[in-house]
A and B are shown apart, each in its own frame.
Chain A
Amino acid sequence: MSLKHLNDEEIQEYLDGNLPAQDRTMIEEHLERCPVCQDSLKQYRYLYDGLTKEEGFDLSNDFAKTVISRLGIETQTKPRFNYFYVLLAFLGAVIGVATIIRFIDMKSLGVTIYETIQPRFEFISVFADSVKNALLILNGNAGLVIVAGLALAFLATVDRFVLKPKYRRVSF
């Protein structure tokens, strides 16, 4: 048994369990015979117990949910919204054009546009020419454009209600 009392570091190392077996035995031998060091050990042991107790504060019950929805707001909804409205606008334009084509005499309209544009802007006459041709073709097939519009509407519905959950998972 050593004559010196154990110092604070030795007691803490002992309680931490970081000492080699030989040192442990020496400390235990001293402790058995020394009430002063026993008291000190007791105080430290009490402190250690206190430090191991659960402290802190309670996070709200839906903490994880809040974090996830905050992340969702910032990474997921914006691109979804833009994409959907671009699609809607495109669909509207297609249906609008199809309706106009259905009720207007495209042949004479096309000719009028051509005759107005052609003399003033000689350099875009090639473009005006192709516009005229396109309008003439569409006039005979307005039904086709409407079918195409309906097909797009169908695709948009599928996208909105069937594919959307999948997008959400990927973009999350």
Chain B
Amino acid sequence: MTDSKLQIERILSGDQTAFRALVEEYQRLVSHIVFRMVSTKEDREDICQDVFMRIYQNLGDFRSESKLSTWIARIAYNACLNHLEKRKLVPLEELNSPEQSLENFLERHKRPDEITEEKEVGALLENEINRMPATFRTILTLYHLEDMSYTQISEVMRLPEGTVKSYLFRARKLLKDRLKLKYQPEDLCH
């Protein structure tokens, strides 16, 4: 029996300490997804709480053919989608066809002479990521921050693997181009 399977059995048999350990192990993953998907600060912690309550209530349905982290990320992603749809915080067309809204993004930010106020490259990058559609932001986070594979991301977001890969590559090219407008390679010292 794997560690996570054993942990789940303990939680299902009523072991509160085991559930606490699970929360502490995965709260970083959940908070990253919620951070990328939901921009209203005051809602984020509540959503994270709801996510873990759903995890607890549905733990009996977890099938070990996928990784526990993938399953948890999927619950978090769905909770965020529900929240965005319910609050109408993100235009529905962005959730349904993120590709379209990336095109809009490119349209809006064509001018190379645009004055950006960010002083640091990190802040500029953060700002550019935040302007992207939620789908692109989440893929970037799952891949780079959570070290998930295309397969895992496609399970979390219910997107074909090819789409995940193409979104990831396009998002990175876009961000690189945005950084290039502002900074010459020699500024990016290492």
Contact = CB atoms under 8 A, between A and B. Distances in A.
Contacts of B16: 68, 169, 172
A112 interface: no
Contact of A64 (B14, B23, B145, B172): B23
* B interface residue count range (under 10 / 10 to 19 / 20 to 34 / 35 or more): 35 or more
B113 interface: no
Interface in B97-148: 121-122, 125-126, 140-141, 144-145
Contacts of B28: 56
A18 B179 CA distance: 24
B176 interface: yes
Given A8-B173, A64-B23, A172-B16, A56 B49 contact: no
Given A46-B121, A47-B176, A63-B48, A57 B41 contact: yes
A65 B21 CA distance: 11
Contact of A55 (B32, B52, B180): B32
Nearest to A9: B169
B27 A42 contact: no
Nearest to A166: B14
Interface residues of A, number: 34
A43 B45 contact: no
A9 B121 CA distance: 23
B53 interface: yes
Given A42-B188, A70-B49, A171-B14, A47 B31 contact: no
A67 interface: yes
Interface of A: 8-9, 12, 39-40, 42-48, 50-57, 59-60, 63-68, 70-71, 169-172
Interface of B: 14-16, 19-20, 23-24, 27-28, 31-32, 35, 41, 44-45, 48-49, 52-53, 56, 121-122, 125-126, 140-141, 144-145, 169, 172-173, 175-176, 179-180, 185, 188, 190
